[in-house]
Amino acid sequence: MSHSENSMSWLGFSGRTCVVTGGAGGIGSETARQMAAAGAKVAILDRTSEICADVLNDILLAGGTAIAVGCDVSDAASVALAAETVLRELGPAQVLVNNAGIGGGGRVALLDASLEEWQRLLSINLTGAFLCAQAFGAQMRDAGKGGTMVHVASIGGDIAIPKGIAYSVSKAGVLMLSKQLCLELAQYGIRSNCVSPGLVRTPMSEAYYQDESRLRARNEAVPSGRIATSIDMAEAILFLASDRSSYVNGEDLLIDGGLSQVVMANIPRV
């Protein structure tokens, strides 16, 4: 056991099969790395196995166990094939991190948004989470050892985002999906929770932070004084996926540095 794995043994991931969708992205790749460092067998799922190469190599070079699996989460057949691959190579899933998702694209007003864009966002962000929960939830149920799911929602699932097209709607759907999974899967010892990131600097959001004045303004808008990193999100995901949160079920953990609390501070006063 490595020093890193030993220091993270309290999380209880050693030997567990953990599936991370969107595993090549910022939050997904950091989550995969940390789970592997804690001793998990990690399945990194993303659009193609090739784009998972960097995080896969990082894990393997560090002595961890991982596989990369190409998977289009919006396609039921692709998800079923990925689930079969995970079962064959790593054993039944015990942890699912539903992280795969896309942003709102070109910031189009709702009345101007195309049906194609609406359906694309919902098919990946919401239907994808449903299909993966169904496929890997069945593995957890059939193995009879329980399990846990963590779904990456968004502050936008509860607070409307200007020109967010279907993004906020899709993430609100993820929040309710998690509650429904909690209700239906608890009988099998399977928990379901969400994390809702606020402002996070990841490859998907990097375009927002290229301008120094905008970056400074965004940092200043957050009470904690900074934009979150993928590490901030991964650490919360690991907590909810671990036995340390064994009595937390059907909840949403908002991780926004206090951003959601500034509404009244913006009201003009005497």
Assigned token pair, 139 = 């593995």
Highest mean pLDDT among 178-182, 202-206, 214-218: 178-182
The residues spanned by each domain of the chain are 3-252
Lowest mean pLDDT among 14-23, 160-169, 171-180, 241-250: 160-169
Distance (Å, rounded) from C-alpha 182 to C-alpha 189? 10
Question: What is the torsional sign of CA 40, 44, 50, 55?
Answer: negative
What's residue 105's pLDDT?
Answer: 57
Distance (Å, rounded) from C-alpha 107 to C-alpha 40? 38
Q: Are 47 and 72 in contact (CB under 8 A)?
A: yes
- Distant-in-sequence, close-in-space partners of 3: CB < 8 Å, separation ≥ 6: none
The count of C-alpha atoms lying within 13 angstroms of the C-alpha of 214, restricted to the half-sphere facing its C-beta, is: 9
In the predicted structure, residue 37 carries a pLDDT above the cut 90: yes
% pLDDT > 90, the chain: 81
> Catalytic residue among 167, 188, 209, 247, which?
167
Distance (Å, rounded) from C-alpha 65 to C-alpha 227? 31
Widest Cα–Cα separation across the chain:
66
Q: Is 208 a catalytic residue?
A: no
- For the full predicted model, state whether its pTM sits above 0.75: yes
- Distant-in-sequence, close-in-space partners of 127: CB < 8 Å, separation ≥ 6: 73, 74
What's residue 194's pLDDT?
Answer: 98
Distance (Å, rounded) from C-alpha 176 to C-alpha 220? 31
Average pLDDT over residues 221-236: 96
DSSP 134-146: HHHHHHHHHHTS-
**Higher confidence at residue 110 or residue 95?**
95
3-state helix, strand, coil in the chain (%, to 5): 50, 15, 35
Lowest mean pLDDT among 18-22, 57-61, 104-108, 128-132: 104-108
In the predicted structure, residue 208 carries a pLDDT above the cut 80: no
What's residue 9's pLDDT?
Answer: 80
In the predicted structure, residue 255 carries a pLDDT above the cut 70: yes
Fold for 3-252, please state it: Rossmann fold (3.40.50)
